[in-house]
């Protein structure tokens, strides 16, 4: 790459950066260039559980996830490409102390149009007959939920962006954002400079490395999460529904044929790191055993699953577990879309559109993008659930 110019530069080639690039190119915002330091989906996106649901605990997030879910159901027509979305349904199991919150949240979701119902534990066993529901008081069932292939999704956004005229540059770290007279003037990459007056940083938990020195420090903490892969035993081969067990913090979804992906977000499952590069790539042996044990408690047949290893990844957590989507108040032309706190995959189609509209028009035409502003933390106005569930990292 020799030195060049662009109308908008996006830093980061995960689901968020590629969706933003595609939406900017769709709206027609001139020359759009995305720069990724590794290959596409090499950050959190490629390691994502990639589950898609609508059940959220705040009306803004419910409306956004409804729009996004509808895109995933019709991805090939709306965006193009095969992201292998599987409409499996999703069952959440709750202990007694969450029952009042579940009632309130399911009612709010249903009022907004989400296809979700509350089930008794015995009704839940009609959805997943292999379940042991001891200790479970109530369940939430979303038949329209499912999961997609996160790598294919990232490439689908990038392919569509390219078709619309955007340029996607990989294996090229952005080393510095150049500011002059209080505004962005260029992006310095390992392979030359791109002159531009608009930059969107969608670099996950590495966002502060670029924006911290020139604008402001975002409250984003790299938080380790561990996952394990298994082969399901024959008794669980027919099970496709995603199971989220709020009593143990563990969740399980089918993976690649007879595989199963098991993760956990309970208290003590996540650990914070100052530097995301220090997070090990593998899962700890004890954590894999714990995931296996928790899955087997809920699905006794899982005790015969074959473990295929585990991996670590990281969430870019913010204090309220929701992203920061904003324009810098210190540097003109600098935008952020980061801090997705472990739930950005499903929202990616709508986030891309919201950020593109923010960049081009200063606001989003329907969803309240200001609810994701950076100053909400200093203003004492975080984006929190009215009826939170206990012991979860994000809602």
Interface residues with ligand FAD (CB under 6 A) are 11-17, 35-38, 42-45, 47-51, 173-174, 202-204, 206, 210, 225, 227, 263, 313, 315, 338, 340, 342-346
Spatial distance between the Cα atoms of 138 and 119, rounded to a whole number of angstroms:
6
Q: How far is the CB of 250 from ligand FAD (least distance, A)?
A: 13
Our CB check for ligand FAD shows the closer of 15 and 66 to be: 15
Q: Which long-range contacts (C-beta less than 8 Å, at least 24 apart) are formed by 110-114?
A: 112/59, 112/62, 112/63, 112/66, 113/66, 114/54, 114/55, 114/62, 114/66, 114/142
Q: How far is the CB of 14 from ligand FAD (least distance, A)?
A: 2
Burial of 230 (0-12, 13-18, 19+ CB in 10 A): buried
Our CB check for ligand FAD shows the closer of 119 and 279 to be: 279
Our CB check for ligand FAD shows the closer of 230 and 345 to be: 345
Q: How far is the CB of 343 from ligand FAD (least distance, A)?
A: 4
What separation in angstroms does the CA of 223 have from each of 62, 80, 170, 204, 340?
A: 25, 33, 25, 11, 11
Q: How far is the CB of 222 from ligand FAD (least distance, A)?
A: 10
Helix axes 59-73, 348-361, angle to 10 degrees: 110
Q: How far is the CB of 84 from ligand FAD (least distance, A)?
A: 14
Q: How far is the CB of 129 from ligand FAD (least distance, A)?
A: 24
Our CB check for ligand FAD shows the closer of 86 and 97 to be: 86
Q: How far is the CB of 122 from ligand FAD (least distance, A)?
A: 27
Q: How far is the CB of 21 from ligand FAD (least distance, A)?
A: 11
Q: How far is the CB of 309 from ligand FAD (least distance, A)?
A: 14
Our CB check for ligand FAD shows the closer of 302 and 315 to be: 315
Our CB check for ligand FAD shows the closer of 141 and 379 to be: 141
Our CB check for ligand FAD shows the closer of 333 and 344 to be: 344
Our CB check for ligand FAD shows the closer of 16 and 101 to be: 16
Burial of 7 (0-12, 13-18, 19+ CB in 10 A): middle
Our CB check for ligand FAD shows the closer of 106 and 317 to be: 317
Q: How far is the CB of 341 from ligand FAD (least distance, A)?
A: 7
Our CB check for ligand FAD shows the closer of 141 and 315 to be: 315
């Amino acid at each position: 790459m020799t030195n060049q110019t662009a109308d908008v530069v996006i830093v980061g080639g995960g689901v968020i950066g590629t969706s933003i690039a595609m939406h900017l190119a769709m709206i027609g915002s001139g020359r759009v260039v995305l720069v990724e330091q590794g290959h596409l989906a090499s950050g959190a996106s490629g390691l994502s559980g990639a589950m898609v649901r609508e059940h959220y605990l705040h009306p803004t997030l419910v409306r956004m996830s409804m729009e996004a879910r509808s895109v995933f159901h019709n991805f090939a027509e709306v965006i193009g490409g095969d992201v292998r979305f599987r409409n499996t349904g999703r069952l959440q199991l709750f202990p007694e102390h969450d029952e009042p919150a579940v009632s309130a949240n399911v009612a709010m979701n249903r009022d907004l149009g989400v296809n979700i119902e509350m089930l008794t534990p015995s009704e839940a066993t009609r959805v997943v007959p292999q379940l042991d529901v001891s200790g479970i008081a109530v369940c939430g069932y979303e038949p329209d939920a499912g999961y997609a292939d996160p790598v294919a999704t990232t490439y689908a956004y990038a392919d569509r962006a390219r078709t619309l005229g955007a340029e996607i540059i990989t294996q090229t770290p952005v080393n510095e954002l150049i500011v002059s007279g209080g505004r962005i003037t260029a992006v310095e990459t390992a392979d030359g400079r791109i002159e531009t007056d608009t930059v969107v940083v969608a670099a996950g938990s590495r966002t502060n490395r670029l924006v911290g020195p020139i604008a402001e420090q975002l409250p984003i903490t790299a938080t380790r999460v561990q996952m394990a892969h298994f082969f399901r035993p024959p008794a669980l081969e027919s099970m496709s529904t995603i199971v989220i067990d709020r009593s143990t913090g563990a969740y399980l979804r089918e993976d690649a044929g007879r595989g199963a992906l098991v993760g956990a977000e309970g208290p003590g499952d996540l650990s914070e790191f100052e530097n995301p590069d220090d997070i090990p790539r593998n899962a700890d042996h004890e954590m894999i055993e714990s995931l296996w044990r928790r899955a087997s408690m809920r699905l006794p047949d899982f005790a015969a699953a074959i473990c295929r290893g585990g991996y670590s990844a990281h969430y870019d957590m913010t204090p309220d577990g929701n992203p920061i989507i904003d324009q810098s108040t210190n540097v003109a032309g600098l935008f952020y879309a980061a801090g997705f706190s472990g739930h950005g995959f499903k929202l990616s189609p709508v986030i891309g559109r919201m950020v593109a509209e923010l960049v081009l028009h200063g606001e989003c035409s329907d969803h309240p993008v200001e609810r994701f502003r950076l100053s909400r933390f200093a203003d004492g106005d975080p984006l929190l659930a009215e009826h939170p569930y206990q012991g979860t990292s994000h809602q």
